[in-house]
Amino acid sequence: MNKVITEELRRRCNILIENAKPGSVETGMSGSLIRFRMALCMMGYATGGKPKWMDEEYSRPLMTNEEFQNDLYDAYVEELFEEAYAKVNS
């Protein structure tokens, strides 16, 4: 795994934790790993009207499509999801 990518994923996860509300669908805090992955903006922010807490640095693409489609980061993202879900929904 690329250290720059994992550090940025951690940073984004921390920002998401600070801004997410329990049960939030848009951040994956309703239990959706897919929505959490979308909220990390790994491929950039794809839809219009991004949340106010997402600055330009947060919402820029973090990895290539090849890196995203590969399962290399899946376990790490799942760990971040479990941590975030526990903290936000406690």
**Rounded Cα–Cα distance for residues 77 and 48 (Å):** 24
The pLDDT score that the predictor gives to residue 87 is 96
CA distances from 31 to 24, 26, 28, 81, 88 (A): 9, 11, 6, 9, 11
pTM: 0.91
Could you report the per-residue pLDDT of 6-51, keeping only the tens digit for each? 999 999 999 999 999 999 998 999 999 999 999 999 999 876 788 8
The pLDDT score that the predictor gives to residue 68 is 92
